[in-house]
């Protein structure tokens, strides 16, 4: 009799606030310098000086796009980014000008439905692998997209058919694709499982667990 297990561990979830339009690197990229965040261009040149506690990518904000306030709705497009300073949140334009200060009364409701990931992390004998089926025959390799071999595995939100997957091997973080091809080498102390891949086609990585920066799928740093 075959041994079947039902997949119950899901490593990916959808947040409706950001959306990746194309497989391109954004013109402006958040960068933290001495504990404060600003923006650099693709060449690493400083464009918006670091002064914020939080600096997000230039991307859509669906709460503003669904606002009942027409003026606030204008600032929900990807022409603007959300930043925070002294616990006050703003939208800024690409020159760094603050064009809008967030108000709870302006925030609309995001209506994008939840879409479960096709690929899921699967734990076997303490190791993580990748599957796309609901029931897995653990007596063979054929039901696994990636046979369990990692200390941790997390499917990033983004392309449902060709996801990027954060994995841990020998206590180091890297990124693989669904065929277990290494995309980002296992040289990092940490890789965040946030929306930077979905929003900007970048991974947020750290070599010491303290200072973080972005790399693309060729491991080019920004």
Q: What is the mean pLDDT of residues 191-211?
A: 96
In the structure, what pLDDT confidence band is assigned to residue 2 with cuts at 50, 70 and 90?
Answer: very low
pLDDT at 144 over 90: yes
pLDDT at 81 over 90: yes
Condensed to tens digits (0 to 9), the pLDDT of residues 114-141 reads 788 899 999 999 999 999 998 999 999 9
pLDDT at 26 over 70: yes
pLDDT at 5 over 70: no
In the structure, what pLDDT confidence band is assigned to residue 112 with cuts at 50, 70 and 90?
Answer: confident
Question: Which of 20-24, 145-149, 190-194 is predicted with the least confidence, judged by mean pLDDT?
Answer: 20-24
Q: What is the mean pLDDT of residues 173-184?
A: 98
Q: 3-state SS string over the chain?
A: CCCEEECCCCCCCCCCCCCCCCCCCCCCEEEEECCEEEEECCCCCEEEEEEECEEEEECCCHHHHCCCCHHHHHCCCCCCEEEEECCEEEEECCCCCEEEECCHHHCCCCCCCCCCCCCEEEEECCEEEEECCCEEECCCCCCCCEEEEECEEEECCCCCCCCCEEEEECCEEEEECCCCCEEEEEEECEECCCCHHHHHCCEEEECCCCCEEEECCCCCEC
pLDDT at 166 over 70: yes
């Amino acid at each position: 009799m075959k041994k079947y297990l039902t997949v119950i561990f899901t490593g990916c979830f959808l947040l409706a606030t950001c959306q990746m339009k194309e497989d391109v690197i954004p013109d402006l990229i958040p960068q933290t310098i001495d504990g404060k965040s600003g923006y650099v261009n693709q060449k690493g040149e400083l464009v918006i000086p670091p002064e914020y506690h939080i600096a997000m990518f230039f991307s859509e904000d669906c709460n503003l796009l669904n606002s009942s306030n027409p003026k606030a709705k204008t600032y929900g497009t990807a022409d603007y980014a959300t930043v925070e300073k002294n616990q006050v949140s703003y939208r800024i334009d690409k020159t760094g000008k603050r064009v809008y200060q967030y108000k709870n009364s302006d925030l609309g409701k995001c209506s994008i439905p939840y879409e479960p990931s096709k690929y899921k992390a699967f734990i076997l004998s303490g190791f993580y692998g990748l599957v796309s089926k609901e029931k897995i025959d653990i007596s063979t390799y054929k039901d696994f997209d990636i046979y369990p071999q990692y200390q941790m595995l997390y499917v990033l939100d983004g392309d449902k058919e060709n996801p990027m997957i954060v994995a841990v091997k020998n206590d180091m973080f890297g990124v693989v694709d669904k065929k277990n091809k290494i995309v980002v080498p296992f040289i990092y102390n940490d890789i965040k499982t946030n929306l930077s891949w979905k929003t900007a086609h970048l991974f947020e990585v750290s070599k010491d667990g303290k200072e973080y920066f972005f790399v693309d799928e060729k491991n080019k740093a920004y």
